[in-house]
A and B are shown apart, each in its own frame.
Chain A
Amino acid sequence: MKVLVAVKRVIDAYVKVRVKSDGSGVETQNVKMSMNPFCEIAVEEAVRLKEAGVATEIVAVSCGPQQSQETIRTALAMGADRGILVQSDEALEPLAIAKILKAVVDKEQPELVLLGKQAVDNDFGQTGQMLSALLGWSQATYASKIQKADGELTVTREIDGGLETIKVKLPAIVTADLRLNEPRYASLPNIMKAKKKPIDTMSPADLGVDAAPRLSVVKVTEPPARQAGVKVGSVAELVDKLKNEAKVI
């Protein structure tokens, strides 16, 4: 089974994000960038499927600027076999990415596409679903466990208040949730090997995709600063404040 994994370059999850002074977005200059943590989980799952003899080839795809090559290299160092960079310096919206991925799927003909459930930069959480609709393939989102049987996958999904186990027919789209696995660290020999693995570069236009933005960002603001707490003198005072000030009980 050939597996396609989508990987996105985002601001590192441990960086304190700063909003640009004009409110048009967030600072990305001189900020550490990494692979989106949910994409890392998707790559890890693909590599485990390969180690288990289920997957035969793993192709890592990234849509974004030239530097997204580094993100692909990270996937290659984790165990992906080759990469595809669909290069665009424009900000790409979920629909554009889904269209690009569809075009890549048409070319590559994988049986499974793994994605993160969302990217930690914009938190859209839509790309996998849109791709599934565009391809007309089955989808299993928020996966915390994946098992393959003949021609189908059994996927455990994280849903509000519990777990749901579903079966989907292949080919399928699966998006990874946090508890699917714990991604490995790349080892030095694998980082070295990754340098020799091929990465094809193309543009959305090469794939016949119009990636022009359809959304416009009106304003980006910092979350409100946390208010200082208050100390209460007694349980009675606490109950009173919860009831009459916070109005939560």
Chain B
Amino acid sequence: MAGERQDHREIRDAVAKLCAGFPGEYWRALDERRAYPTEFVEALTEGGWLAALVPEDYGGAGLPLSAAAAILEEIQRQGCNGAACHAQMYVMGTILRHGSEAQKQAYLPDIASGALRLQAFGVTEPSSGTDTTALRTTARREGDRYLVNGQKIWTSRAEHSDLMLLLARTTPRDQVAKKTDGLSTFIVDMRKVLGKGLTIRPIRTMMNHNSCEVFFEDMEVPAANLVGEEGKGFRYILSGMNAERILIAAECIGDAKWFIEKATGYAKERVVFGRPIGQNQGIQFPIAKAYASMRAAELMVQEALRLYEAGENPGAEANMAKMLAADASFEAANACIQTHGGFGFAEEYDVERKFRETRLYQVAPISTNLILSYLAEHVLGLPRSY
């Protein structure tokens, strides 16, 4: 594609080769059964790709965020779905930044090798939604353990993860000065508590995305599994948000490129009224527009990466990159399905599947409205609206 990014070329090439082993048929068969892409995730794990961000001292590749972005972008671009395991790359960041040395030693090397999967992230709850600090799951200290009660929803990959990073309230909201206080972050070893205080129920959704309801009933978590200080967990979770947003944005850029290539290829080949449909401006313009949107969003992703890697706080840029890239990928998805006419709806073209998959990023991990609220309040100085 024109204007191709050249950074991390060898990483992109190697990921593309790996992905070639997982063609549309593979994903279609899984999609039908809503089954987890185990072989794909194993191949990525074996190749060391999911350990890109783990420092070398803990057995990872110690690469900058832009390398992880290149990996995830390429996965999406090749028509695969990184959502099955993208969190394995970045959830560990909270332990890395805020965990004790003992926790890092205990978890990071096994996360790097893939022996331990930390790709479940329990924040969202049914009654609080976007209003995270209103969450109701509690963790009460009793001796050298905490007892957790409550419920999470949309905990993705909970059935395919060994550990969960959990945000729970340790001090009631009415007893803290700021509602962001009194929340704590825990590393939950789900293997030890499944069926003993922990229940996981997958939710059937419009795309193949193992997302679950998770219930806690006096679930025991050793006090040693508290990350950092009690009551400061919200800050620890927030500190990982920029990386998460930038990486999701990179995935959306990859999706957009896949849709644009797919649409362009089809528009050149498909002949009706005696000429390729791509010769009509009615077909060309939406694809060209989607391309322009993708490139603009890609530049914002690059800007967010640049700031992140320079050690600055790219809060606004990471949010804008996520919003613009998700918009670009959906615009491209729409142009692609429209270009394909009736065939866009047929499963064997993979367009409808990718269309469903990329739609998610308008809502998760943060919905567009909340990004706009953030920009209005924190960048433009407008009164807080919520």
B73 to chain A, nearest CB (A): 15
Chain A residue numbers with a CB within 8 Å of B2 are: 30
One digit per residue, 1 when the CB lies within 8 angstroms of any chain B CB and 0 when it does not, for chain A 66-86 equals 000010011001000000000
**Cβ-based interface call for A239 (8 A):** no
One digit per residue, 1 when the CB lies within 8 angstroms of any chain B CB and 0 when it does not, for chain A 183-204 equals 0011111111000000000000
**Cβ-based interface call for B11 (8 A):** yes
Chain A residue numbers with a CB within 8 Å of B17 are: 185-186
Chain A residue numbers with a CB within 8 Å of B51 are: 188
One digit per residue, 1 when the CB lies within 8 angstroms of any chain A CB and 0 when it does not, for chain B 51-95 equals 110000000010100000000000000000000000000000000
B14 touches A192 (CB 8 A): no
B47 touches A188 (CB 8 A): yes
B9 touches A188 (CB 8 A): no
B169 to chain A, nearest CB (A): 38
B48 touches A187 (CB 8 A): yes
**Cβ-based interface call for A34 (8 A):** yes
**Cβ-based interface call for B46 (8 A):** yes
A188 touches B46 (CB 8 A): no
B13 touches A188 (CB 8 A): no
A106 to chain B, nearest CB (A): 31
- Cβ-closest chain A residue relative to B13: A34
B52 touches A188 (CB 8 A): yes
**Cβ-based interface call for B101 (8 A):** no
One digit per residue, 1 when the CB lies within 8 angstroms of any chain B CB and 0 when it does not, for chain A 154-189 equals 000000000000000000000000000000011111
Q: How many residues of B contact A (CB 8 A)?
A: 17
A188 touches B48 (CB 8 A): yes
B10 touches A77 (CB 8 A): yes
B10 touches A185 (CB 8 A): no
Q: Among the interface residues A185, A189, A190, which one has the most CB atoms of the partner chain B within 10 A?
A: A185
Chain B residue numbers with a CB within 8 Å of A191 are: 10-11, 14
- A185 to B12 alpha-carbon distance, docked (Å): 12
- A30 to B4 alpha-carbon distance, docked (Å): 9
Chain B residue numbers with a CB within 8 Å of A190 are: 48
**Cβ-based interface call for B121 (8 A):** no
B44 to chain A, nearest CB (A): 9
B42 to chain A, nearest CB (A): 13
Chain A residue numbers with a CB within 8 Å of B63 are: 188, 192
B352 to chain A, nearest CB (A): 25
Chain A residue numbers with a CB within 8 Å of B61 are: 188-189, 192
- A94 to B278 alpha-carbon distance, docked (Å): 42
Chain B residue numbers with a CB within 8 Å of A77 are: 10, 14
- Cβ-closest chain A residue relative to B18: A185
A63 to chain B, nearest CB (A): 21
A188 touches B18 (CB 8 A): no
A189 touches B14 (CB 8 A): no
One digit per residue, 1 when the CB lies within 8 angstroms of any chain B CB and 0 when it does not, for chain A 206-242 equals 0000000000000000000000000000000000000
Chain A residue numbers with a CB within 8 Å of B107 are: none
Chain B residue numbers with a CB within 8 Å of A30 are: 2, 4
- A26 to B13 alpha-carbon distance, docked (Å): 23
Q: Among the interface residues B11, B13, B46, B63, which one has the most CB atoms of the partner chain A within 10 A?
A: B13
B9 touches A70 (CB 8 A): yes
A-B contacts besides A185-B14, A186-B10, A189-B48, 9 pairs, CB < 8 Å: A70-B9, A77-B10, A185-B17, A186-B47, A188-B63, A189-B61, A190-B48, A191-B10, A191-B14
What is A's interface to B at a CB cutoff of 8 Å?
A: 30, 34, 70, 73-74, 77, 185-192
